[in-house]
Structure 1
Amino acid sequence: MTTRVAAIDCGTNSIRLLVADLPDPAAGPDAPLVDLSRRMEIVRLGQGVDKTGRLAPEAIERTRVALASYAAEIDSLGVDRVRMCATSASRDASNAGDFRAMVERTLGVAPEVVTGDEEARLSFTGAVRGLPADALEPYLVIDIGGGSTEFVVGTRAGGVEAAISMDVGCVRMTERHLLGDPPGLDQIAAAQADITAAVDRALEAVPGRQAATLVGLAGSVTTVVAIAEGLTEYEPERIHHARVSYGAVAEVTADLLAKTREQRLAIPVMHPGRADVIGAGALVLRTIMERAGMSAVVASEHDILDGIAWSLR
């Protein structure tokens, strides 16, 4: 018997929904989940959190509107189980109770404000299922979010060996450093120094430099990969498991940081809600590849959202 589940991932920049049928456990460990719906809205829940320590009322309202639409779809599809995980922005905010109350009113279930370690483990679970055979183990899985980046090392059979979450994400780094349009060289250098320090601390805590394959998750990574692959529209099936070299990532990063927001918006694969923060996200990816000594990154469209869904099995 399959189980119909709904997974919601509410991060600093976006909120996403996956409704899927989980396979019968008798089908074996490699049986895939079957997608019924995948949706994403940019709500920027973490707007200003790094500076104020609070969730902005307008950000909570944007999230409520998206969540109400998700709740209607969940109801129409006859979902058996629902789990919503809220990540970096709602961990940091002093008024997280307002957010929690809104979610319970709108969705009917409480959000789980997961720890950085749990966020990392869910991301790993979602990412490694279905990786191609030429993606050698152990893996270093990185999930570049709006407020934080998760680093996880592990294998398919053994699962997670080590994990850590660091407070460097595309929204946080943009709001803290990349204020120009385009950002100045001094702003980029300050962001680079901040990111490098965090990445080095992460790679001391988890054995990322010993990993054989770097797997990159979330919108910053998939957008950089789509640009590097020369796509004229966002095609998840072509991005999923695409392998892109460090040289290509470095070239895309430099180009994004040199462009104005208007110029980034003109890139065919660019989501309008990501155009102002993609430079920082690309810089995080490039820095991780440099500091971990990785020659390439494998992109995955499956991530924490899929991990949340599998946790409902």
Structure 2
Amino acid sequence: MSARVAAIDCGTNSIRLLIADLPEASDGDSAPLVDVSRRMEIVRLGQGVDQTGMLAPEAIERTRVALADYAAEIEKSGAERVRMCATSASRDASNAADFRAMVERTLGVPPEVVTGDEEARLSFTGAVRGLPADAEPPYLVVDIGGGSTEFVVGTREDGVRGAISVDIGCVRMTERHLHGDPPGPAQIAAAEAEIAAAVDRALAAVPGREAATLVGLAGSVTTVVALAEGLQGYDPSRIHHARVSYEQVAEVTADLLGKSSEQRLAYPVMHPGRADVIGAGALVLRVIMERAGMPSVVASEHDILDGIAWSLAATSG
């Protein structure tokens, strides 16, 4: 019997669960995870953390409610091992101990507040397994989160060549710059300037401009791709490994930044918890493509969550 594992990714904006069966060793290196359950809840754990340096009590409580539901499903599934990784918001908060205590009470295991480097490597592992044949290596994998964006360059065969995390997530950029609804030109220009400076630092730290394929992860990317593809509902099977051009991304970004949160909600692919920050997320993606000289991006529904599950392969059994 293959091992069943549970992975939880708790970021600045969302908390996600993957329960999956690991492949047997005899299945070969290219064998995929077998999904049992994938879930996502928008809890906005990082609400206000950029200004206050603390996790808001109501944000911790929203996360607790979602996590209790996940814990019940994990127990029912019979998963043998559980790993929860907490990312940018938990790294930044002065009251992280309160969050950690809540997780241990609710889930039974402590959260691992992973470094930006480890976060990047987990994202890369999850993203590059199963990429289509026309996705030429080396890969630049970008994971646009709520508080930070990870840049990772590497290949399947040789692994990660370089990785860095920079603080230009969609929630952080919205709270810092995009105060209007919709934001005004000066606000967008200020956000774009900060994003461009951070992206240039990241691309200098890792050989990002040497990559042949840009792979984009997380909800900002997949939502932009769904909009570019004109989907009438959020369909992961059509988004996963879809390739869209820079021109399409630029068009979607301009459209989103020109609309209010209420107008964005009219799109059938828009998650209600993402409508207020998707403009910033799209802007991060567009600027990355510009600064890296990438003519297109390949979306992946597999990301750090899958990487966390794969990390349990060596310790399960």
Aligned-pair CA distance for 1:136: 0.1
Counterpart-to-counterpart distance in 1, 2:21 and 2:201 = 39
Question: Alpha-carbon deviation of 1:291?
Answer: 0.0
State the shift of 1:217 in Å.
0.1
1:75 aligns with 2:60: no
Q: Paired residue for 1:261?
A: 261
How many Å apart are 1:311 and its aligned residue?
Answer: 0.1
Deviations 1:124-181 (A, max 9, x none): 0000000001100000000000000000000010011100000000000000000001
| Residues 188-209 of structure 1, C-alpha deviations (whole Å, 9 max, x = no match) | 0000000000000000000111
* Equivalent residue number for residue 154 of structure 2: 154
1:145 maps to which residue? 145
Q: Distance in 2 between matches of 1:25 and 1:285?
A: 37
For 1:3 and 1:217, how far apart are their aligned partners in 2? 26
How far 1:24 sits from its partner (Å)? 1.0
Aligned pairs (5 A) from 1:50-65: 50-65=50-65
Take 2:301 and 2:61, find their aligned partners in 1: how far apart are those partners? 27
Per-residue deviation, residues 9-48 of structure 1 (Å, max 9, x unmatched):
0000000000000011121101111000000000000000
Distance in 1 separating the partners of 2:38 and 2:233: 18
Amino acid corresponding to residue 95 of structure 1 in structure 2: N
Q: Deviations over 1:217-270 (max 9, x none)?
A: 000000000000000000000000000000000000000000011100111100
Does residue 252 (structure 1) correspond to residue 249 (structure 2)? The answer is: no
Q: Partner of 2:179 in structure 1?
A: 179
Return the alpha-carbon distance in structure 2 between the equivalents of residues 246 and 219 of structure 1. Answer: 18
> 1:192-271 to 2 correspondence within 5 Å?
192-271=192-271
1:44-86 alpha-carbon deviations (Å, 9 max, x no partner): 0000000000000000000000000000000000010000000
**Could you tell me how far apart the structure 1 residues matched to 2:31 and 2:300 are?**
18
Instruction: Give the match for residue 95 of structure 2.
Output: 95
CA distance in 2, matches of 1:79, 1:132: 30
In structure 1, give the amino acid aligned to 2:204: E
SS in 1 for 2:150: strand
3-state DSSP of counterpart to 2:157: coil
- The C-alpha deviation readout for 1:262-309, integer Å capped at 9, x for no partner, is 100111100000000000000000000000000000000000000000
TM-score normalised by L of structure 1: 1.00
Matched, 1:128 2:150: no
Which consecutive segments of 4 or more residues in structure 1 shift more than 2 A? none
* Structure 1 equivalent of residue 277 of structure 2: 277
Q: Distance in 2 between matches of 1:14 and 1:179?
A: 21
Correspondence for 1:6: 6
> Which residue in 1 is equivalent to 2:303?
303
SS of residue in 1 equivalent to 2:173: helix
Give the CA RMSD over aligned residues.
0.4
Identity %, equivalent residues? 83
Distance 1:133 1:206 in 2: 24
Who is 1:30 aligned against? Answer: 30
| 3-state DSSP of counterpart to 1:272 | coil
SS at match of 2:29: coil
Scaled by the length of structure 2, the TM-score of the pair is: 0.98
CA distance in 2, matches of 1:38, 1:77: 12
Letter in 1 for 2:70: Y
Q: Give the SS at the match of 1:273.
A: coil
Measure, in 1, the Cα distance between the counterparts of 2:9 and 2:37.
14
Structure 2 residue identity aligned to 1:49: V
Instruction: Measure, in 2, the Cα distance between the counterparts of 1:192 and 1:252.
Output: 16
* Partner in structure 1 of residue 111 of structure 2: 111
How far apart, in 2, do the equivalents of 1:258 and 1:73 lie?
40
Residue matched to 2:16:
16
Equivalents in 1 of 2:249, 2:70: separation in Å? 34
CA distance in structure 2 between the aligned counterparts of 1:278 and 1:32, rounded to whole angstroms: 30
